[in-house]
């Protein structure tokens, strides 16, 4: 009888088991900042690793040819490895690149964008512009804290989502926040756990404005004693506390006079008010630099007609109007459109015109009988596939695209390139330092030019 020649599950070809620790030599970085190595013929992604390191990774996912791990220990460290500034960095899902020098983070983000442009559109920009820089820490002016009532322990957990888990990290610090918000994070956890209505809390949002805002979402009415504790917290931190018991219209201030929240664009001498539920950029320094760069790249001329799509409360519309352009801002949220109109009037700008429209659908070009000379768009992560086709149909001469997702930017860039546009300038923007999140700005010009960088698919 012949001996059995089948493969044992314990051979080198057996897949790694979940939770198994494996030693890996790391060779390079992926587009999202994870290190890549090989183990028993398989490609291994190691979250928290750097090229040149030998590490032990704990297996999170295992397939026949690919293994995903998180770093368990570093056997041989790269000389470029840096100590995270935050004690929660290993667990917290917010910042995945704190072990990496800031300059390397920017390189990873630019390489990620370049790979996406090549992969999805076969494009290279005519010119890579320098990254738009901001602070490495202490920059974030908006943050949402998750809360969860642990029924078994009858205790409220307050913090951020863990990496690779739905559990919470109960944070006592968060150095990427602006200082006034980090101080609130330190005080919030102990206070919220003391509330009689702690089990009814949803989430808490912190917003830095001229007066910091604490926005508490709750599903049941809070007792008077809880309201007084929240008012005291706000007073102690020179902040205002807002409650949201239902939909956004239920927002109301329970401390102070309900001061209007606002941020200032100092370079344009503009003040933009916003409601606690409105979208604003989380990084004030990079936002100001982004606006300055947009004005420089678009170079608006007096009386030029410019569309600002996804205009929000007027973040780009008002600076463009201040430069002399005739701006039409379009946004799907009617409350933000109303606020943009108020912001224009409060800054002495009568020319901007604002409309409410669903920008996930085809742009109604009939609204722009006079056409437009340029367009700026700042879409959500889904991008703007239908919009860029509409802009191309209108033969808009200059299109400035602000992106929070390299993949959808690349897809939309391919559409524009197919309609005769050149990708002339691209720059990454360091809006979210210490994270793998990539923000970028791209300028498209209609018409061909020598040296165009479109490549064959």
Query: Are the C-beta atoms of residues 43 and 63 closer than 8 Å to each other?
Result: no
Mean pLDDT by 10 residues, the chain (457 residues): 42 72 95 93 95 96 91 96 93 90 95 95 96 96 93 91 88 92 91 94 93 94 96 93 91 82 96 94 97 98 95 98 96 96 97 93 75 95 94 95 97 97 98 96 86 40
**Whole-number Cα distances in Å, 446 to 117, 332, 374, 443:** 18, 27, 10, 10
Residue 145 per-residue DSSP state: E
Query: Are the C-beta atoms of residues 330 and 359 closer than 8 Å to each other?
Result: yes
Query: Which positions ≥6 away from 280 have C-beta within 8 Å?
Result: 141, 142, 207, 263, 274, 312, 313, 315
Q: Does 142-261 match 21-81 at the fold level? A: yes
**Whole-number Cα distances in Å, 305 to 325, 363, 365, 368:** 6, 16, 14, 10
**Whole-number Cα distances in Å, 360 to 281, 387, 396, 416:** 21, 8, 19, 17
Query: Does the domain at residues 106-135+283-446 carry the CATH identifier 3.40.50.150?
Result: yes
pLDDT for residue 452? 40
328, β-bridge pairs: 307, 353
Cα gap 34→29, rounded to integer Å: 6
* Mutual angle of helices 406-418 and 385-393, in 10-degree steps: 20
Catalytic residue among 174, 311, 372, 404: 404
What number does CATH give the domain 21-81? 2.40.50.140
As given in the structure block, the two tokens for residue 383 are 């991008």
DSSP collapsed to 3 states, 269-335 = CEEEEECCCCCCCCEHHHHHHHHHHHHHHHCCCCCCEEEEECCCCCCCHHHHHHCCCEEEEEECCHH
pLDDT for residue 259? 73
Cα gap 225→241, rounded to integer Å: 15
Cα gap 389→35, rounded to integer Å: 37
**Whole-number Cα distances in Å, 66 to 42, 46, 96, 249:** 6, 11, 21, 48
262 class by beta-carbon count within 10 Å (0-12 exposed, 13-18 middle, 19+ buried):
middle
174 is catalytic: no
pLDDT for residue 163? 85
As given in the structure block, the two tokens for residue 353 are 């015109």
The residue extents of the domains of the chain are: 21-81, 106-135+283-446, 142-261
pLDDT for residue 69? 95
pLDDT for residue 13? 55
pLDDT for residue 448? 72
In 3D space, the residue among 374, 376, 414, 377 whose CA is nearest the CA of residue 398 turns out to be 374
pLDDT for residue 365? 73
Question: In the CATH scheme, what architecture does the domain 142-261 have?
Answer: Beta Barrel (2.40)
In 3D space, the residue among 335, 443, 392, 416 whose CA is nearest the CA of residue 121 turns out to be 416
In 3D space, the residue among 454, 453, 449, 319 whose CA is nearest the CA of residue 378 turns out to be 319
């Amino acid at each position: 009888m012949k001996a059995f020649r089948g493969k044992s599950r314990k051979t080198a070809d057996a897949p790694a088991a979940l939770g198994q620790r494996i030693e890996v030599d790391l060779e390079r970085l992926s587009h999202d900042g994870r290190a890549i190595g090989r183990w028993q013929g398989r490609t291994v992604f190691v979250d928290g690793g750097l090229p040149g390191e030998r590490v032990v990774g704990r297996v999170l996912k295992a397939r026949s040819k690919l293994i995903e791990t998180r770093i368990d220990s570093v056997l041989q460290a790269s000389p470029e490895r840096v100590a995270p500034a935050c004690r929660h960095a290993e667990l917290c899902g917010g910042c995945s690149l704190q072990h990496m020098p800031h300059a390397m983070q920017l390189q990873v983000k630019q390489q990620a964008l370049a790979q996406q442009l090549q992969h999805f559109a076969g494009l290279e920009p005519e010119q890579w512009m320098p990254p738009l820089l901001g602070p490495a820490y202490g920059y974030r002016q908006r943050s949402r804290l998750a809360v969860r009532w642990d029924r078994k322990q009858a205790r409220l957990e307050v913090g951020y989502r863990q990496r690779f888990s739905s559990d919470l990290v109960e944070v006592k610090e968060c150095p990427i926040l602006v200082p006034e918000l980090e101080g609130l994070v330190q005080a919030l956890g102990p206070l919220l756990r003391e509330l009689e209505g702690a089990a009814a809390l949803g989430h808490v949002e912190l917003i830095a404005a001229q007066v910091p805002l604490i926005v508490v979402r709750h599903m049941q009415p809070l007792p008077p004693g809880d309201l007084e504790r929240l008012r005291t917290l706000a007073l102690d931190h020179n902040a205002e506390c807002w409650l949201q018991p239902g939909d956004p219209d239920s927002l109301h201030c329970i401390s102070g006079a309900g001061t209007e929240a606002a941020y200032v664009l100092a370079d344009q001498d503009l003040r933009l008010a916003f409601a606690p539920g409105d979208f604003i950029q989380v990084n004030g320094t990079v936002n100001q630099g982004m606006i300055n760069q947009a004005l420089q790249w678009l170079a608006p001329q007096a009386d030029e007609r410019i569309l600002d799509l996804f205009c929000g409360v007027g973040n780009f519309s008002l600076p463009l109007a201040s430069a002399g352009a005739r701006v039409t801002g379009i946004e799907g949220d009617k409350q933000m459109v109303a606020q943009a109109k108020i912001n224009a009037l409060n800054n002495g700008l009568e020319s901007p015109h604002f409309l409410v429209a669903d920008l996930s659908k085809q742009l109604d070009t009939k609204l722009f009988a006079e056409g437009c000379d340029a367009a700026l768009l700042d879409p959500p992560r889904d991008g703007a596939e239908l919009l860029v086709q509409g802009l191309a149909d209108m033969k808009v001469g200059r299109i400035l695209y602000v992106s929070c997702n390299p993949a959808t930017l690349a897809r939309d860039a391919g559409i524009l390139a197919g309609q005769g546009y050149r990708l002339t300038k691209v720059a990454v923007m360091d809006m979210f330092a210490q994270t793998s999140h990539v923000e970028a700005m791209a300028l498209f010009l209609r018409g061909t030019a020598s040296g165009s960088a479109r490549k064959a698919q």
